[in-house]
Amino acid sequence: MRSCFTNFSATEGLRIGRMVLVGLTLALGACGDDGRGSGSDLGTSRPDLGPPMCATACEGGTTCCGSACVNTATSNVNCGGCGIACTSAELCQGGSCVPAAGVDAGPGMCSPTCASSQRCCGTTCVNRSGSSASDSSFENCGACGFACRPERSDRCGQLAGSSVPQCLCGTNNLECPAGWVCTNSGGTMGCTNLAGDRNNCGEIGNVCGEGETCTGGVCGCGSTGASCGAGESCCEGACIDTSADPMNCGGCGMACDAQGPNCVDSTCRCGTAPACTAPTAGALGMGGDPGQSCCDEVCVANTDTSCACEACTGEDTCQISGGGIIPGMGGDVQVCCGDESVAFFGCGGGGFPTP
């Protein structure tokens, strides 16, 4: 038998060997280039948007994309994330690009033909955009049947520089994110956080009381948002028992006076008895009634021996201050030991009593 390598020269063998080596090299180089790519290039690459450059922190559930705060739930050019753009045949709904089938019902469905500012939905022409929630565009925003949420938007329109109708809240804001509502604040429509707005705490129109803050949609007292106990009121950020606090007796800021310095059951009293009779001033130092003072929780008539719970000495007598030239115009009416000048210069002297 004759070998097939009888006439196979060394030169030819070397040439064939090199060809086989080159072929193997090319085959190995092609591995991983079958359309799947390497692990770091899986899927379609997004363009390099660079670091966020927004001048201020984005609020209201918006995201910083480039140099603008956008709502990635509804933005057609940043749908679900920065740089993810929907096609011209899609709309961004809930952060996903969805087919905009039925944007217009097509020719022949509406008669007469709709104007360019309208679209045909079924057999009815509706506006493409409007200025209020009552406009026909509100129920067909960007496409037939795509209704705006009335609690999160107030109209269907275009953002500045855009021709795409979208659900908006206010002059140039996208619809509010979940948990926020579109409300009128000082004549301007905007997004309000129900979890932290004391004028809309938990629901629209629920106003927290004086001194309260809104935390987690619940009105509470002070910066911590703590709930006050039974019988307590939030006064200047602190829970106060207004049934017993003489500085807030029966309500915040309702302070008891000298005639009834004790707060009992939300009422200013002298001890447990009703408040004492307050003094009244006359005119030009004449007339008036010295009334009573609460001394050791007992009402005592104001006289020279007990004037505001103190005995007058020497030539001093129990005088009424605060009368002035015209009764009621000389400041707070008080009693104290002194001479006739007290009526004009007040207890302690130094000038006319000030209102």
| Strand blocks (E) in 10-67 | 63-65
Give the whole-number percent of the chain exceeding pLDDT 70: 75
Q: What residues contact 101, with CB distance under 8 A and at least 6 apart?
A: 143
- Residue 175's φ and ψ, nearest 5 degrees, are -55, 150
Tens digit of pLDDT for each residue in 112-150?
A: 899 999 999 989 999 999 999 999 999 999 889 999 999
Look at residue 98 in the predicted model and tell me its pLDDT: 64
Tell me how far apart the alpha carbons of residues 346 and 355 are, in angstroms, rounded to a whole number: 11
Tens digit of pLDDT for each residue in 91-110?
A: 777 777 765 544 454 444 78
Look at residue 248 in the predicted model and tell me its pLDDT: 95
Tens digit of pLDDT for each residue in 242-286?
A: 999 999 999 999 999 999 999 999 999 999 999 999 998 877 667
Look at residue 106 in the predicted model and tell me its pLDDT: 47
Contacts made by residues 212-217, CB under 8 angstroms, sequence distance 24+: none
CB-CB contact of 146 with 93 (8 Å): yes
Tell me how far apart the alpha carbons of residues 140 and 224 are, in angstroms, rounded to a whole number: 44
**Predicted confidence band of residue 156 (pLDDT cuts 50, 70, 90):** very high
Q: For residues 335-346, give the mean pLDDT.
A: 83
Tens digit of pLDDT for each residue in 171-195?
A: 878 899 888 999 987 788 999 999 9
So where are the chain's domains? Answer: 242-275, 280-345
CB-CB contact of 89 with 100 (8 Å): yes
